[in-house]
Amino acid sequence: MNGLMMQMPLLISSLIRHADRHHGDTEIVSRRVEGDIHRYTYRDCHRRARQMANALARLGIRDSDAVGTIAWNGYRHMELYFAVSGSGAVLHTVNPRLHPDQIVYIADHAEDKAIFFDLSFLPIIKAIAGRTRTAKIFVAMTDAAHLPADHGIPGLVCYEDLIAGASDAYEWPVFSEEHASSICYTSGTTGNPKGVLYSHRSTLLHTYSIALPDSLNLSARDVLLPVVPMFHVNAWGLPYAACMVGSKLVYPGPGLDGKSLYELFESEQVTLSAGVPTVWQGLLAHVESQKLRFSSMNRTVIGGSACPPAMIHAFQDGYGVQVLHAWGMTEMSPVGTVATFKARHLAGSAAARNAVQARQGRVVFGVDMKVVDPEGRELPWDGKSSGDLLVRGPAILHSYFKNEGGDPLEEGWFPTGDVANIDADGYMQITDRSKDVIKSGGEWIGSIDLENIAMGHPAVAMAACIAVKHPKWDERPLLVVQKKPGAELDREQMLAWYEGKVANWWTPDDVAFVESIPLGATGKMLKNRLREQFRDYRLPDA
């Protein structure tokens, strides 16, 4: 027997409609590429999204067509989130830090019909226009006054002209909630990027789960500034979640340095932010050097790569900003776990709370996880047994776009490629990417642990630990260090820092100081590049 409740599909358009109807006056503030600060409301955003939906139809964009964006976090990008997906087309957010050849590859693979871009990315468009197979329409996300006369792109369309010429009378179509809504390509450090195609249903379920109190605890009383780019897994779903709960939104545009972010945090009284550790390093360096305080920010989400305990400590103890350490993947929409406390942690010791926060956290509702040994047997939740981390859930992919790479699942579970353990309370800790694991004398050494310790040293800006060949032990850890500007640190001091912090045999065999550690398109350390660079490195006793 079926239940007798309304059959209303979970659609992305319902988010912006809700935000307009119930939080219509709430502001969306954006630092624009044009250089100024733009402000309007959810009501304005909804109106312009409807106009854009009409304009897309006029451009010939049909149901299920892909529409690319190469843009910063800003209000026009937000309008496209709703205009494109809401009208039944598929939003393809492109990472501008990719090489133009890769952008052509993914635009063709996704079969983008049009590409919308911020003016800062005009050089990319110049490099790819004429090369993309299906994308023949290019739209500059600006007004005619700001469009450079010598842009050199034949038939270039101006975003504000499209809006001005379109009616705001538009009824969001109703279709199956399984309909594709957006596509994101994985950063893929090797091989071609693979597409993860989200649905309206997966997006809405993920939106509910990340807003919950033990996830990000997002509400209509928050002012949310997503630093995580809208081209990186839909800014972790935050634009959608803000609509669901009616938070004020602040978009930083291209201003991602510590000073620009701090100014916006203060001027807009931001309460919550989110981004990768490398961004927060810049912000912390700025507030430390200028002796500043945060007057409104009370928590920040840090994920995308492991958040070193030293950073958690700096935010919480130095500035009173609670850190929400989170883990996820493009394939998971992306949030999988968030490190928030259970009731008894509040009564426990500070050391126990620190230990909880150094872990990547508990699953958000809708994610199930397990760790398995090489034979696929589930390992106990004892906080020690590390193995391959597998996940499943309604916002986790079951195959890549166009079935690239074949069936990725193992008996219905998605193998994350991460190595982790889970403790008795369900808090998961990533110890490594499986391909980054260091295997010494048949035992695993957790590179993330070693990096976190190094990053706790006051002279260290960034540290990566990689495996180097060793005749006796097979592999041994080499620590690659980028010092803070002007800081003094030598090999012996760095190695002495590990004394008493790890088992002796975990201590890196050597330290290599580098000018800068290479970062990928989403701000993660490119360890494969370092492994390549140090492939023939001879360790002292090897």
Nearest distance in Å: CB 327, ligand AMP: 4
* C-alpha distances in Å from residue 271, one per residue of 144, 190, 265, 274, 320: 35, 38, 8, 11, 12
Nearest distance in Å: CB 314, ligand AMP: 17
Nearest distance in Å: CB 436, ligand AMP: 9
The residues facing 93 across adjacent strands are 69
CA distance 46 to 14: 11
Q: What is the DSSP letter of 63?
A: T
Nearest distance in Å: CB 440, ligand AMP: 21
CA distance 493 to 67: 53
Query: Of all residues in this chain, which one has the CB nearest to ligand AMP in the complex?
Result: 330
* 521 token code pair: 């398109």
Out of 186, 330, 340, 522, the active site residue is 186
Nearest distance in Å: CB 112, ligand AMP: 20
CA distance 339 to 216: 10
At 41 the three-state DSSP class reads: strand
Nearer to ligand AMP, 85 or 186 (CB): 186
- Is residue 95 within 8 A of residue 231, CB to CB? The reply is yes
Nearer to ligand AMP, 334 or 387 (CB): 334
Nearer to ligand AMP, 33 or 438 (CB): 438
Q: In this structure, which long-range contacts are made by residues 94-99, counting pairs with CB atoms below 8 Å and at least 24 apart in sequence?
A: 94/68, 94/69, 94/70, 94/185, 94/231, 95/185, 95/187, 95/229, 95/231, 95/232, 95/521, 95/522, 96/70, 96/71, 96/120, 96/121, 96/124, 96/231, 97/520, 97/521, 97/522, 98/193, 98/521
State the sign of the Cα–Cα–Cα–Cα dihedral 511, 513, 518, 524.
positive
* 25 token code pair: 């006056």
Nearest distance in Å: CB 455, ligand AMP: 13
Out of 189, 444, 469, 484, the active site residue is 444
With CA atoms as reference, report the closest residue to 359 among 388, 336, 338: 338
Nearest distance in Å: CB 184, ligand AMP: 8
Give the DSSP H/E element, type plus range, for residue 161: helix 159-164
Out of 331, 337, 340, 451, the active site residue is 331
At 462 the three-state DSSP class reads: strand
* 160 token code pair: 């504000």
473 catalytic residue (yes or no):
no
Nearer to ligand AMP, 29 or 358 (CB): 358
Nearer to ligand AMP, 187 or 247 (CB): 187
Out of 439, 501, 505, 532, the active site residue is 439
CA distance 78 to 67: 14
Nearer to ligand AMP, 233 or 478 (CB): 233
Nearer to ligand AMP, 322 or 416 (CB): 416
Nearest distance in Å: CB 20, ligand AMP: 31
444 catalytic residue (yes or no):
yes
To 5 degrees, how large is the angle CA 55–CA 61–CA 67?
A: 95
Nearer to ligand AMP, 80 or 448 (CB): 448
Cβ contacts of residue 416 below 8 Å, gap of 6+? 329, 331, 388, 389, 390, 391
The footprint of ligand AMP (CB under 6 A) covers 186-187, 233, 303-307, 325-330, 334, 360, 416-418, 430, 433, 522
Residues carrying an active site annotation: 186, 331, 439, 444
